[in-house]
Structure 1
Amino acid sequence: MVEIYFKELVQRNLIQIFKWRKDGSPKTCRIGVLQDDGNFMSKAQEIGLFHIQKMSENETPQHGVRRVTDFVDPEEYISQIQNLRSYLAFDIQKNDMPATEIDRFLNKVTGQNFGLLRVVDLERVYKPKLPDNMGKLFLLLRYLGLRWTFLDALPHSVGELPYLETLDVKHTYISSLPSSIWKMKHLRHLCLNEIRLDMSLQNHGTSLTHLQTLWGLFVDKKTPVKNGLYRLINLRKLGLTCHLDSFQELDEWIARLASLQSLRIRSKNQNGQPWKLNLKPLSSLENLTNLYLLGSLPELHDRYEFPPKLTVLTLSVSKLEKDPMPILAQLPSLTVLRLLADSYTGKELKCPPKGFIKLQILKLWMLKDLETWEVGKEALKELQEVEIRCCDKLKELPAPLFILENIKKIVLTNMPQKFVDEIPAKGLIFPKTLQF
């Protein structure tokens, strides 16, 4: 039902899709009519949906302002927003200068009644000064976004926000979370910056056990898995970087995540370089659709090493010596395949006949030893987009690519000029889009 409503809004141009995910689904949307539809804007302000603060006008809104998207000095309208529900700051200051106007706004907020505030998003605001008593000031806060703020610490009071559901500190300098984090009973989405979670030291047995998203986790021998992370079994999205010699406990924990839909694992050594990734087969994760693996893998032997519903697969620095295509071609739901740098070290790729029945997007990046690529009869029938990047030894494109009915785009990035020149020289006809 939600998808039906969403498509209708897109068709009516009330919503524009701004960014797409790798699997072709919408990732970021924006309201597309604010700039050119005066009727929409006036109606939105009339019913109190939002207030548009203009630099040249000081009119008072008809309703108490509940949602503010800030492009100007928020002090100009601080008296009008006692019932504020959400605050999104768009800071455009450069040269790592503190956002003084936003800091003044936060200071004023701390002295007034903003207990109804549910959303605070300060993404890219340079080191905003968060109040020390956030739990009392923002009683109903559900979302706190601090991505790209360059903060190096969180106030202890963050853990005292009783109803917080989303905490995002990705792309910051924050290296640890305050101990008060274990008080958060309602947290659902936690985005970190490669931070350890030592759950063995806290006494709150139900803390964080309702997490659905855990992104940016760091796991090493100092991180308790069996008696710590093992409690988190409701995750739907997990992204972690690990430095481990043994993956047994990590394997056992991941195998318990029956609701997991998206998984990213990056294995690195102490110097931050890609390292071995000796995971057990992930076929038990029946709901997993998106998988990203960075690190050297054992050779693939059977398609059943992968989840049955897998739609997006990304391999990087896997160092596979045996051609993975015959196995990957059997995955029944695979729509996006990305073989990135050194994921395959062999000379030949062969897409078997009638293989990849649903694949739509294929990316081959930095496969430095790849020389030949063959496409069997009736393979890749649904393919729409191909990108080949920095495959210096690849001799030519397989001819079947140029006659596939659904293909819309072939992108060649940083490929040798000889490779590019060979395409028209062979008389291949490509009626759609060929980008260099």
Structure 2
Amino acid sequence: MGGLGKTTLAQKVYNHPKVRRCFDGIAWVYVSQTWQKEDILQRILLSLIPEKREEIVKWRDEELVRQLFQIQQNKKCLVVLDDIWATEPWECIKQAFPIRNDGSKILVTSRNKDVALHIDPSGFHHQPRFLSDSESWQLLQRKALRGRFHGEHEDLKKLENLGKEMVKACGGLPLAVIVLSGTLATKKDLNEWATVNRNIKAHLGRGNNLINEEGNLHKILALSYNDLPYKLKPCFLYLSRYEEDSDIETEALYQLWIAEGIISTKDQIGEESMMDVAERYLGELVTRCMVQGKAPDDDDDVMLSSIGRSFASCRLHDLMRDLSLVKAKEENFLLSISYYHDGILNEHGNNDHSQVYRLAVHFSKEDVRKYVPPAEKRNTRHLRSLALLISGNEDYEGHLPKKMKSQFNRFKMLRVLAIEGLFPANSEDHILKTVFLLVADHLRLPTAIGELIHLRYLSLRRSVFLCLPSSLGNLQNLQTLDLRDAVVFRIPNVLWKMRQLRHLYLPEGHSQLMGFLGKFKLNLFCRKLRLKGLDKLEILENFCPPICSSQDISTLRNLRVLSAEVVLDDYDEGFPTEIQRLMSNSDHVGCTSLCIYSYKDSAATAASIKKKVSDVVGQCFSRRNLQGLEVSCPMDNFPEYEAQYMCASLLKLELTRLEIEEDPMETLERLPNLRSLHLKYRSFLGKEMRCKAMGFGQLRFLRFEDLQNLEKWNVDEGAMPNLSVLTIEECTKLEMVPNGLRYVKTLKELNFVRMPKEFTDRIQAANGHEDFDKVSHIPTISVRNVSL
């Protein structure tokens, strides 16, 4: 039964340090009802060998099976297949798993016992039991009271009696107890608890028509929805837009809530921005245990904490998603349709668009062409939101079907439009092919999009469009334009007309793309994109000086987040001036990140260029608002440490191809706020590095990758006192782990990737070698030496 805690128990096993120590690689994959064979295999491999991402996304089914089988033959792996509903997914992937009694293991969770028996009749089968009344009360007490009452509070006994009475309605189901606890946690006194108790009794007396006939669990979940304040109900219903087991990116979710009018300026308190209000609302749903929130706790999330974000992503339990789907459809709020496996429609949708105001259509890459839009205009003209979302890997060679394009002029009331996943194969050959198809109409966004004058949110993420029409300038109400991970060959100079624009995400590497087109004498830009006039802009990502003017940045007085990229190949030797101009024009921006890179071979880089890059990096260390810096080009050695570096706000630093010979730690370890450091391919050519005591005081994530000359790394006692994750990848000459790691008690995870066997053998307890005691205190140690 749903809600018994199967996934929670599996996570406890999966994350247990003693379990992790038994395996060379671990992988967790959500299978769910809308599964795809290729997707399952890819996600397992991406967890086991993430360093091979580029190869994995190109492999076909047969190669994925072969590689996964080979890895498990050579290494001990733990693979968790969570939430399998039927035997078909296992039948499709079982060839990738060797049949043997030791080494690699598979952990499966399922609501169907027959599925487990089919996978392995002789395996260990565990069925979680229901909680007793006493255990249910203990769980509710921890979640709902949370230390609010101490000692002999006069209401404590009455609360206990009410709680014990209410918890019986949960039938011992942990999820029901948790959700009820979330509801009670928002109640201030005994009277409000009593009100909830009366509501429970009323709901239990209404029969089985709330959602289905699976018992009181669904009634308790429905009660939690009914108890929501009016302002939070549409926020919860909107989550039905996402597929089962999705990790929902919170920044995009907040922008959608704002665009839909679910959150308005009336909800702001004090100096809150609209995004702050959205985060507060999500926090309330998390507090009520209706949504699971993920805090910014890994390397990818370092920058989020700098802008005050409490959640990097969120997700729904399957049963909470079922509740959201049913209630959204019941109230004509949103209809979610999924096409998978030869166009079979999932159980949550039908093709009746005539009443619902929001429509989300999910496709596998094979089924996108099978979707038939409604023929009658009355079925679409009232839509406020339309999402066409294609999942799967990035080798889908598709385009927007003509049947869809022909309907754009029908959506006169549309506020939200998302077309995501229309992405050709990610290789230069296919980009080149696309260049020679510049006249292809199917890769052009329809001009009719300019007629959608109410549009507030437009996303073309992970899609390819040769040209965006100049009619985009008519979208006077647009608040978010998202072109991340997209390939767009021509962006018309009309963005400045969108006076309501708050969030602008330009494509990554656009300058590189323009240089590529220049080889074929194809210039699709008439002039720079003007941004001056976007007075309400708060987020600007992938800003590139050759495409836009740095001077415009100074006019964007409400800008809070800026990420920019500067390609040195676009300048002779004048790039320091351009970077200085960019940084001085962005002094008012709270959070800035900068990427400086070159595509030229290092041998072609003049000494004067290297010296200028070194000076520029030194200036970046002095900036008070620069929080992310990526440098990928040769430079001189780091400038000597200067006092003004103590003002540096830098949180994340990634360095590639620097080709410096002096130890960079002397300077880097004194950056006061640095949380993440990644030294990769030829960034350091020397043989020895040293981290001194008290250095890297705030560092959480450290990664060395492909430092082929590094032989010794010394760590003094007291260095890196807050380090959480350390990764050493393909540093083939490194002799041993530093002795000082034994003093870094905060280390939770240590990863070795493609390191020599002699090196990794030194830390294996079974081998009795001398380095094991240096790392024995670290809960998770991963060794991935698979060579493909």
**Coarse TM-score class (shorter-chain normalised):** 0.7 to 0.9
**Correspondence 1:169 to 2:495:** no
Aligned counterpart, 1:96: 397
Aligned counterpart, 2:731: 391
Native 8 Å contact 2:633 2:658 kept in 1: yes
Structure label with greater radius of gyration: 2
* 2: CA distance, partners of 1:200 / 1:227: 19
**Correspondence 1:131 to 2:446:** yes
**Correspondence 1:255 to 2:255:** no
Closer/same/farther in 2, CA of residues 34 and 344 from structure 1, 3 Å limit:
same
Q: Which letter maps to 1:249? A: E
Closer/same/farther in 2, CA of residues 104 and 229 from structure 1, 3 Å limit:
same
Aligned counterpart, 1:216: 542
Which residue, 654, 659, 662 being the options, matches 1:314?
A: 654
Judge which range, 296-305 or 205-214, deviates more: 205-214
Native 8 Å contact 1:194 1:217 kept in 2: no
Other structure's SS at 1:91 match: strand
Aligned counterpart, 1:152: 466
Aligned counterpart, 2:291: 14
Residue deviations 1:273-315 (CA, integer Å, cap 9, x gap)? 9874352513553233222222234423126347522222222
Aligned counterpart, 1:39: 323
Q: Which letter maps to 1:262? A: T
Aligned counterpart, 1:118: 415
Which residue, 350, 357, 370 being the options, matches 1:65?
A: 357
* 1: CA distance, partners of 2:677 / 2:645: 16
* 2: CA distance, partners of 1:409 / 1:427: 16
Point out the structure with the larger strand share: 1
Native 8 Å contact 1:386 1:410 kept in 2: yes
Closer/same/farther in 2, CA of residues 30 and 417 from structure 1, 3 Å limit:
same
Residue deviations 1:228-262 (CA, integer Å, cap 9, x gap)? 66655646222213222121132123123121513
Aligned counterpart, 2:597: 267
Point out the structure with the larger helix share: 2
Which residue, 705, 715, 718 being the options, matches 1:378?
A: 718
Other structure's SS at 1:133 match: helix
Closer/same/farther in 2, CA of residues 237 and 88 from structure 1, 3 Å limit:
same
Shift of 1:109: 3.4
Q: Which letter maps to 1:428? A: F
Q: Which letter maps to 1:116? A: M
In the TM superposition, what are the counterparts of 1:284-295 in structure 2 within 5 Å? 285-295=623-633
Shift of 1:343: 2.0
Closer/same/farther in 2, CA of residues 5 and 327 from structure 1, 3 Å limit:
farther
Closer/same/farther in 2, CA of residues 214 and 253 from structure 1, 3 Å limit:
same
Other structure's SS at 2:714 match: strand
Q: How many corresponding residue pairs?
A: 429
Native 8 Å contact 1:195 1:217 kept in 2: no
CA root-mean-square deviation = 3.7
* 2: CA distance, partners of 1:181 / 1:205: 7
Q: Which letter maps to 1:75? A: P
Q: Which letter maps to 2:498? A: M
Aligned counterpart, 1:302: 641
* 1: CA distance, partners of 2:640 / 2:358: 57
Closer/same/farther in 2, CA of residues 295 and 235 from structure 1, 3 Å limit:
farther
Closer/same/farther in 2, CA of residues 301 and 48 from structure 1, 3 Å limit:
farther
Shift of 1:161: 1.3
Residue deviations 1:328-355 (CA, integer Å, cap 9, x gap)? 2222222211112222222211111122
Aligned counterpart, 1:184: 498
In the TM superposition, what are the counterparts of 1:279-428 in structure 2 within 5 Å? 279=616, 281-283=619-621, 285-298=623-636, 299-302=638-641, 304-305=644-645, 308-424=648-764, 425-428=769-772
Native 8 Å contact 2:595 2:631 kept in 1: yes
* 1: CA distance, partners of 2:509 / 2:667: 33
In the TM superposition, what are the counterparts of 1:231-246 in structure 2 within 5 Å? 234=559, 236-243=561-568, 244=571, 245-246=573-574
Q: Which letter maps to 1:152? A: L
* 2: CA distance, partners of 1:323 / 1:204: 43
Closer/same/farther in 2, CA of residues 17 and 99 from structure 1, 3 Å limit:
farther
Residue deviations 1:193-230 (CA, integer Å, cap 9, x gap)? 4446999968989434654444334445xx68576666
Native 8 Å contact 2:453 2:474 kept in 1: no
Q: Which letter maps to 2:782? A: Q
Native 8 Å contact 1:85 1:118 kept in 2: yes
Closer/same/farther in 2, CA of residues 412 and 186 from structure 1, 3 Å limit:
same
Judge which range, 125-134 or 311-320, deviates more: 125-134
Q: Which letter maps to 2:373? A: E
Judge which range, 178-187 or 8-17, deviates more: 8-17
Shift of 1:364: 0.9
**Correspondence 1:107 to 2:107:** no
Shift of 1:359: 1.4
Q: Which letter maps to 1:387? A: T
Paired-residue identity, %: 23
Q: Which letter maps to 1:44? A: A
* 2: CA distance, partners of 1:23 / 1:204: 31
Shift of 1:263: 1.3
* 2: CA distance, partners of 1:85 / 1:364: 48
Residue deviations 1:166-207 (CA, integer Å, cap 9, x gap)? 323344442332133342323331312444699996898943
Aligned counterpart, 1:52: 336
Other structure's SS at 2:660 match: coil
* 1: CA distance, partners of 2:582 / 2:551: 10
Closer/same/farther in 2, CA of residues 150 and 84 from structure 1, 3 Å limit:
same
Closer/same/farther in 2, CA of residues 23 and 348 from structure 1, 3 Å limit:
farther
TM-score, normalising length from structure 2?
0.49
Native 8 Å contact 1:45 1:51 kept in 2: yes
* 2: CA distance, partners of 1:128 / 1:161: 21
TM-score, normalising length from structure 1?
0.83
Native 8 Å contact 1:199 1:228 kept in 2: no
Q: Which letter maps to 1:264? A: L
